[in-house]
Chains A and B, each alone.
Chain A
Amino acid sequence: MERSVSYGGNDLNLEATELRLGLPGSDEHEKQSSPSARTSNKRASPEVAEESSSLSNSNVSDARNGDQDSAPPAKAQVVGWPPIRSYRRNSFQQKKTEADGAGMYVKVSMDGAPYLRKVDLKVYKSYPELLKALENMFKLTIGEYSEREGYNGSDFAPTYEDKDGDWMLVGDVPWDMFISTCKRLRIMKGSEARGLGSL
């Protein structure tokens, strides 16, 4: 799963092929000035940053330009800053990669689809994010969750298999508990879905 910052969530990246009269790269300025286009959720890995070891003073955010109160732009990382011992630094990165590599990829099956997909649950911070991604992936509408009625009103119900092998409706338990118990996802369709939703 790529970690690139997405400009507007457009998978086709139409901007790259767009014909225009400006110089190449002249669009960068425009993008950098709006903080929302550069959310800090996904930042360059420390390994990438380490490569720019010849960074000079000027790359460190110059406070005199005035701090923005909105989401801070992704900062250029400076070698050896913040000054924490390599051992400690490595143990953080290890924790991050351990968490990342700990099998958060789960299979997603959709009734009637010829093949399965996979999603990395760690990438999402909440149910709405996950559901939106599933909607995009399968080009369908799941709608909103309600405790009483599940996904009533939709032809689809997202379900998951938990540690005990039971099929559960997505959304009932807190998100953190969900991602630690979810083994695979299945998007149920049609009458079967409606049956679950109206329990």
Chain B
Amino acid sequence: MMNYFPDEVLEHVFDFVTSHRDRNAVSLVCKLWYRVERYSRQRVFIGNCYAISPERLIARFPGVKSLTLKGKPHFADFNLVPQDWGGYVQPWIEALARSRIGLEELRLKRMVVSDESLDVLSRSFTNFKSLVLVSCEGFTTDGLAAIAANCRFLRELDLQENEIEEKKNHWLGCFPDSCTSLVSLNFACLKEINLAALERLVARNPNLKSLKLNRAVPLEALQRILMRAPQLVDLGTGSFVLDRDSDDSETYRKLRTTILKCRSIRNLSGFLEVAPHCLPAIYPICVNLTYLNLSYAAGIHGSELIKLIRLCGKLQRLWILDCIGDKGLEIVASTCKDLQELRVFPSDPFGAGHDAVTETGLVAISSGCPKLNSLLYFCQQMTNAALIAVAKNCPNFIRFRLCILDPTKPDPVTMQPLDEGFGAIVQSSKRLRRLSLSGLLTDRVFLYIGMYAEQLEMLSIAFAGESDKGMLYVLNGCKKLRKLEIRDSPFGDMALLRDVGKYETMRSLWMSSCDVTLGGCKTLAKKMPRLNVEIINENDQMEFAPEDSQKVEKMYLYRTLVGPRKDAPEFVWTLV
């Protein structure tokens, strides 16, 4: 019946279909729908930049306005992927620039971005509006200067946790006076900033809703900036200390008055350094906060931290350091009844953990916050009993990531592995999509995961399992698995090769310090031409005609439509 509608009608209907997956599904219905969908598609998400080429993207979606690209594998975040592995955005930007694509938005994660790329980007797309870079590297503030100077309608510049080389330029001053369209600006990951340019920029951008400052912005400047931008919804304070020469009480008084006017702030972060006696200035806005990120605020602890938390009754997302302790988490549990997401980061990752949290804190949270659906928890220890209690209290987990600082630690009470605890979690949270395991774990936990984690899409395994059976349970049972990353676990060729077709249903598989051999990887590569099976060979272990029986230190495989990549460095071998 839909065939009798003109294309415009179909297009209009498809406008209401926004999620990538739904649009992908729409495009598979029939050739007509495929055609209409592809011309009307504006937002494209590419989870692995090596799965497809820019040319094919442009050919299929000529109307694309917003592109998201991800580069390096997730474990690159933890230094497991060497420098120069790849993930370059340059070819994408060049190809898009050559075409007549009207790119407006670019979001990159774990990619290598050069100043040249940023320069070309800034000059090639007149309507460019939004640049979001997460965990990227390879560029300097010269690249940022190009963006500032050339993107006349820039609305968003969001730099999250990037490694940026800072030159002596004043890139912020490159925003022309005519730039008044900014809505979101985040430069928290930089060390320096030109304060005068910043204040002028804020003053002429009245639509600014999200502003995240860096540690070079002291309280005096923050106060002046907030005076100009009381409409902010999202604030990252940078430092929260006074300049040495300023008058404490006067600044504090002014800050307090100014903050009272900022009634729209719902998200608060920063506090990279803190003058504790100035904290009360922010108390008035705490009651409205829905997101609080104190995970870099090592200077707020003890009673100061508790006082702050007690005021935040509407919090939905809380990111905190483990120096809050179990007792502090109990306060969170009794205060933040709407809490959905909690992340507890280690404040002293290599230390003896005197201030860390344990299973007690987590159980308290689960008890007080039944809406909890997303957890990242770094802790000293965990027990099965606690996990079982958490599973019972919170059956709505979508993301559950537990990281015990000693990765093979058993339940300290029973000395048992944590299989039963995690088993309870996957059984109770039927909508679980992401899971990270740690602690002492046998094959049994994987049996449970394979049996119960029907919606699981991403699984991270470290120092776990006893045999190939563990990996097989997961590959067989988790039908929706997209990303599997495994390190230091005894899984080998038998598990790897049992169901080779499985990997084409997934985005990628990472295995490092496991038992897979070169021969096993070669076999897989031969059987599956639409997978790139890459071996990372750092230590020249495999320099001299390696034996097939030799274990592979790092393997990364992913499905792709464009064959082996041409930019692989010499230490990455793509097996064919």
Contacts and interface: CB of A to CB of B under 8 A. Distances in A.
Interface of A: 40, 43, 46, 49-50, 54, 56-57, 60-64, 67, 71-72, 75, 77-89, 91-92, 95
A84 B343 CA distance: 12
Interface stretch (B84-92, B146-154, B404-412): B404-412
Q: Determine the interface band of chain B, counting residues with CB < 8 A from chain A.
A: 35 or more
B487 interface: yes
A63 B346 contact: no
Interface string B417-436: 00000000000000000001
B345 interface: yes
Contacts of B351: 40, 43
B33 interface: no
A46 B407 contact: no
Interface of B is mostly: loop
Contact of B487 (A72, A80, A82, A89): A80
A82 B378 contact: yes
B296 interface: yes
Chain A to chain B: the 6 pairs with minimum beta-carbon distance, closest first? A80-B78, A87-B161, A40-B352, A85-B77, A83-B78, A80-B80
Nearest to A78: B407
A88 B77 CA distance: 10
A85 B410 contact: no
B408 A60 contact: yes
22 contacts: A40-B352, A57-B513, A60-B407, A61-B409, A63-B406, A63-B408, A63-B440, A67-B409, A67-B412, A77-B350, A79-B78, A79-B79, A80-B75, A82-B378, A83-B78, A83-B462, A84-B345, A84-B346, A85-B135, A88-B296, A92-B348, A92-B349
B163 A81 contact: no
A57 B488 contact: yes
Interface of B: 75, 77-80, 135, 161-163, 189, 295-296, 298, 345-352, 378, 403, 405-410, 412, 415, 436, 440, 460, 462-463, 487-488, 513, 539
Nearest to B348: A92
A85 B407 contact: no
A13 to B, nearest CB: 25
Given A43-B350, A57-B513, A80 B407 contact: no
A84 B298 CA distance: 16
Contact of B79 (A64, A71, A75, A86): A86
Contacts of A92: 347-349
A43 B412 CA distance: 24
A54 B350 contact: no
Contacts of A88: 161, 295-296, 345
B513 A56 contact: yes
Nearest to B440: A63
Contacts of A71: 352
Given A63-B440, A95-B298, A83 B77 contact: yes
B161 A89 contact: no
A119 B223 CA distance: 39
A82 B405 contact: yes
Contacts of B78: 79-81, 83-86
Given A83-B78, A87-B135, A95-B298, A62 B462 contact: no
Contacts of B189: 87
Nearest to B352: A40
Greatest chain A CB density within 10 A among B296, B349, B436 is at B349
Given A71-B352, A82-B349, A89-B349, 17 more contacts: A43-B350, A49-B350, A63-B408, A63-B440, A72-B352, A77-B350, A80-B79, A81-B462, A82-B407, A83-B460, A83-B462, A84-B349, A85-B161, A86-B77, A87-B163, A88-B161, A88-B295
A91 to B, nearest CB: 6
Contacts of A81: 78, 407, 462
Nearest to A77: B350
Nearest to B411: A63
A40 B354 CA distance: 11
Contacts of B408: 60-63
B378 to A, nearest CB: 6
Contacts of B349: 82, 84, 89, 92
Contacts of A60: 406-408, 463
B225 to A, nearest CB: 23
